[in-house]
Amino acid sequence: MVGSVAYDDVQTPFDRRRDLLGGAASYFAVAASLYARVRLVGVVGDDFRAEDVERLRGRGVDVAALERRAGRSFHWSGRYDYDMSSAETLSTDLGVFGDWHPRLPEALRDVPFVFLANIDPEIQLDLLEQVRGPRIVAMDSMNYWLEYKRSSVADVMRRSHVVCINEGEARQFAQTFSIIRAAREILELGPSALVIKRGEHGSMLFLRDGGTFWSPAYPLEKVQDPTGAGDSFAGGLVGHLAAVGSLDADELRRAVVHGTVCASFAVETFSVDGIASATPDAIEGRYQALRSLVAIGAETLAGAAPPPPRR
């Protein structure tokens, strides 16, 4: 995977924190490491704390391709309102990511699963060029890149099997109010699956062959910091797909529920602390709780209960 490794300043109506370990790659790596071996490609500046690299390494994340360069690490600052929903970006400083090109070590060129986390789409394409015949490519992006590099984001979507994007960004990309229309336009670019994330309202999976699946979010009373929800979602989703090695419709549905569960842990605490606290048992508990949340009695769609007798 490639993506931003960052320090974040986060404000909510209830609290404010500075220089938190963040970035799309950090959240993704911590979540996905619950499912599979993660190899992180990225760059940090000389201000990056050694203990933060150790945190990732301690999760089993391979950080051999995480470069350190002279300069400032990626810094993002954002603010949330009382709905704790979408972030308002106050500043984005690309730092050492500004003129960086990924260099994939030879040993990683045959990886089967690739996740292009949120970062400059030209970096995402550059990395993808260096991988030989990946089985599954998934990507994420955000409004910042849609605004400045829309056509490159479209190129990344064209070359991905699974696209993850949030609701507002899907609308922005397709320049439409209709999520259904936006989904159709994105799928027409070529991916076989599209996941549209809707924050506390859950997520929607659209398949190119016409199938759909909608999942609610895991209901939480405590949300301290929504930052990284989308990246942790992607970690659970891609982690599950890598673990099962399949893009079957059923596995994609399960992957969406794993993504939902990972996101629920991520938002409970600042930085990666929430997702780092999730254990396999806790993941399984919330997975089953989500299943029962959407079960309608004992019947299933495939083996529906017989109709009531006619009078």
User: Per rule CB under 6 A, is residue 228 in the interface with ligand AMP?
Assistant: yes
Binding ligand AMP (rule: CB under 6 A), the pick from 2, 11, 23, 35 is 23
Give the sign of the dihedral formed by CA 261, CA 264, CA 265, CA 266.
positive
Q: Which residues pair with 162 in a beta bridge?
A: 138, 193
Judged by CB under 6 A, the residue of 45, 102, 121, 230 near ligand AMP is 230
CB of 310 to ligand AMP, least distance (A): 53
Query: Binding of ligand AMP at residue 231 (CB under 6 A)?
Result: yes
The closest of 275, 298, 138 to 218, measured between CA atoms, is: 275
**What are the residues facing 39 on neighbouring strands?**
62
Q: Which is nearer to ligand AMP, 186 or 262 (CB)?
A: 262
Radius of gyration in angstroms for the set of CA atoms belonging to the chain, rounded to a whole number: 19
Phi and psi at residue 190, to the nearest 5°:
135, -25
Q: Which residues lie closer than 8 Å to 197 by C-beta, 6 or more apart? A: 164, 165, 166, 167, 203, 229, 230, 233, 263
**How far from 298 is each of 29, 218, 292, 303, CA to CA, in Å?**
37, 21, 10, 10
User: Does position 202 bind ligand AMP by CB under 6 A?
Assistant: no
Q: Does 41 bind ligand AMP (CB under 6 A)?
A: no
* Binds ligand AMP (CB under 6 A): choice among 2, 4, 38, 207: 4
Contact segment (CB under 6 A) with ligand AMP among 22-30, 33-41, 208-216, 280-288 equals 22-30
- The one among 119, 136, 146, 193 contacting ligand AMP by CB under 6 A: 119
Of the residues 43, 61, 139, 229, which one makes contact with ligand AMP according to CB under 6 A: 229
In the complex, which residues of this chain contact ligand AMP (CB under 6 A)?
A: 4, 6, 8, 22-24, 76, 92, 118-119, 142, 144, 227-231
